[in-house]
Amino acid sequence: MDAPRKHLPADERRAVTVEAVIGLAAEQNPSEITTAAIAGRMRLTQGALFRHFPNKDAIWQAVMEWVADRLLARIEHAARGAATPLAALEAMYMAHIDFVSEHPGVPRMLFGELQRAEDTAAKRMVQTMIRRYAERLGALVEDGKARGELDPQLDAAAAATLFIGSIQGLVMQALLAGDAARMRTDAPGAFAIFRRGIAAGARR
């Protein structure tokens, strides 16, 4: 990182902190990231860091808020540009894959938060994001059913779960392989299988 910018506005400083954490999460186990490491990445003292965040949990909450806002905005933008519900689902799928490919530290942090036994603000943020995501997917599925594009007997909630789970599976395999680009390579084929399973006439 370049020389530290010591006089950034508070909002910009918080954004830079989030970027530092996501960058570190791409390189190591998120649970092992310390405030000293974050401050070091930003070329700040820990005291300067804590002027913007009261503790590490507050930093994690800010990161999860950033992820939720950016990811949901990305997939919503992708859906708005699609001509049909099924095209919107495909656009959202690929937009999600692109987002994770660009920020490989994000899934590491999401998985880490969901595995924590204790209830935290960051964990609740992740749970809320997934719920909102599933609700958006469910609405698209119902729209597709109403238009005759999707199987009329399709369970919208189950389809949303499978959609998100398929992406999570691709992400996990890419992380295990240490190859983030693999997600983009495998995503079209994975979505094609999902599409065949939900399209009208799929049960014939």
pLDDT of residue 203: 53
- Rounded to an integer, the average pLDDT of 65-74 is 94
Looking at the domain covering 60-198, what would its CATH class be?
A: mainly alpha
Query: How much is the pTM?
Result: 0.88
Please choose, from the candidates 20, 19, 32, the residue with its C-alpha nearest in 3D space to the C-alpha of residue 112. Answer: 32
Q: In the prediction, which pLDDT does 2 show?
A: 44
Average pLDDT over residues 101-109: 90
pLDDT of 65: 92
The answer on pLDDT for 102 being more than 70 is yes
Q: What is the overall mean pLDDT for the chain?
A: 90
Concatenate the DSSP letters of all residues of 56-96 into one string.
Answer: HHHHHHHHHHHHHHHHHHHHHHHHHT-SSHHHHHHHHHHHH
